[in-house]
Structure 1
């Protein structure tokens, strides 16, 4: 066991932490990217066009990098983590294509979304294609446990999408209801990515669970920050439009806190109209953000993210101390201060 991972005070930001981890896994990550490109190919030309529009647009590749780092942290020197990491990224890509259709999103990674360029039907079907390809890659790992972990994660993610639809525009949503959506939609794939990397490396049950808890808590913290940035971020840095969650009537933690802090019936009626009914004027987003600033809902959301990041660090403390786990600790620690 290593020393318990602690909050790391370094002159670095989240982008630096991502680059450092990518640097440590650079050779593996290049193989993952090649594998992804190979499995995007199809004789139906629109499939690689739509898939490539999303996957080649960039992105941090956080989930596959976490998979690679988890395997390497435990001394793995085989090749199954490559197929697994590629499968994880294809699942992520598929969910993004589906999400953008459900949310009617217009921007993703600084580009027009695939559904806006090609259409909803095409985006959904190419997402299904990527899901299918991901299962081919899971089988290549030769591990039934990996197949079980990622197939279960795929089910949970789908459940999370449906659960979000059920809670969307529901101004009576609680923190617990919101957290259930976050765990399913975002954190579950981070958890599966980390746990799967440990499994292919032959981890003990304790190590496997520690990596799963790391991924789960990192994923929650990451989404909490995402939700805060939707109201307080920079559009150029984010690569998407600020206020999208508000316009779609999404119940995120800043909104949950803001509704709970409403001081009178007029403010409650504002949230019911803008979120519950999504009847909005051009000035409503500014008004919502002014309420959030007054009641510190963004800083409270980030403080909550900090708690989950600390949980991720505690999980790492149960694992061997080496350059990979140190880099993973940086990733969790600095994720709360990211700008995009």
Structure 2
């Protein structure tokens, strides 16, 4: 089990997708150009734009657009991809406040550096900018998809707070939580990629939604395994009241190793399901190989 370097994700991307991802990064870097704000607020707002992760969500947007557009121009996917990443960043800021998280990705969080009030306002600014970029895409389906995903993220944050520290959390509770908290945005990332190249067929969209849901659930299960085993030295260890699949599975029998294996099996089953749907809908080897990087 390993934490992959972001370059491993980049190596699998076609040159056209890499170029578009560079333009997404440029869009993010200039998101707040011309807007005056106090230095602390500016630094909090740009913190995760500058200290970015693997950009998995916008990359999925671009990969779906690339595959469904048959490799032709997919410039219209740039703004939706940037909007997706901004929504994710806003959720990180809110998560930092709620969890009193002081370290993320090996650096101090905005919550730690600037306090909860400034961090909260930064998340508001970022959400507003995400909506602006979605509107500028010129496609109402993209706007409503991302707005709906933002609603689900808020529900997921609250559900995590409700379930945290409780000893009766079931696997079904967990799967519902991680759908709202994580998978919903990954699902929407792929949907807006399809919309951006003009794919509106209901059956195709439903299948892509299934792919996104499976990938999103697998992604969070993988993160939980990594957190539980403290593999990622850049992030702190699991906190006592965190809702984690290994804790849930091992609660009754105390068998940690068996629970880890069960969680790993569920993760890989989710990825198998996603790939089965991809092969009948998108038929993209690049997307399949990219998703396979999540395997443990």
TM-score by length of 2: 0.92
- Structure 2 distance, partners of 1:50, 1:310, is 38
* Counterpart position of 1:256: 248
| Larger relative contact order, structure 1 or 2 (CA cutoff 8 Å, min sep 6) | 1
Match of 2:272 in 1: 310
**2:293 is matched with which residue?**
334
Q: 1:297 deviation in Å?
A: 1.4
Structure-2 separation of matches of 1:210 and 1:27: 27
Structure 1 residues 14, 119: closer, same or farther in 2, change over 3 A?
closer
Q: Partner residue of 2:133?
A: 137
Answering whether residue 256 of structure 2 is matched by residue 292 of structure 1, we say: yes
Q: Which residue of 2 aligns with 1:216?
A: 213
Matched residue, 2:26:
34
> Gapped runs of 5+ residues in structure 2?
none
| Change in CA separation of 1:90 and 1:172 when aligned onto 2, cut-off 3 Å | same
- In 2, Cα distance between the equivalents of 1:53 and 1:16? 21
Aligned equivalent of 2:97 = 101
Could you tell me how far apart the structure 2 residues matched to 1:168 and 1:40 are?
A: 35
Moved more, 188-197 or 30-39: 30-39
1:320, distance to aligned residue in structure 2 (A): 4.0
CA distance in 2, matches of 1:124, 1:116: 12
Larger Rg: 1
The aligned length equals 287
Deviation at 1:22, TM superposition (A): 4.2
Q: Determine helix, strand or coil for the equivalent of 2:19.
A: helix
Q: Secondary structure at the match of 1:40?
A: coil
Displacement after TM superposition at 1:241 (Å): 1.1
Residues 40-71 of structure 1 deviation map (CA, whole Å, 9 limit, x = unaligned): 34310333311222221130000000001111
The answer to whether residue 177 in structure 2 is matched with residue 181 in structure 1 is yes
Cα distance between partner residues in 1 of 2:102 and 2:84: 24
* Segment of structure 1 superposing worse, 82-91 or 164-173: 164-173
The residue number in structure 2 matching 1:206 is 203
Deviation at 1:105, TM superposition (A): 0.8
Give the Cα separation in 2 of the matches to 1:21 and 1:48.
Answer: 34
| 2:45–2:125 contact (8 Å) kept in structure 1 | no
Cα deviation for residue 112 of structure 1 reads 0.8
TM-score relative to the length of structure 1: 0.80
User: Structure 1: how far apart are the matches of 2:89 and 2:107?
Assistant: 15
Question: Would you say the 8 A contact 1:83–1:140 is kept in 2?
Answer: yes
Deviations 1:126-172 (A, max 9, x none): 01100000000000111111111110000001001111111111110
SS of alignment partner, residue 59 of structure 1: coil
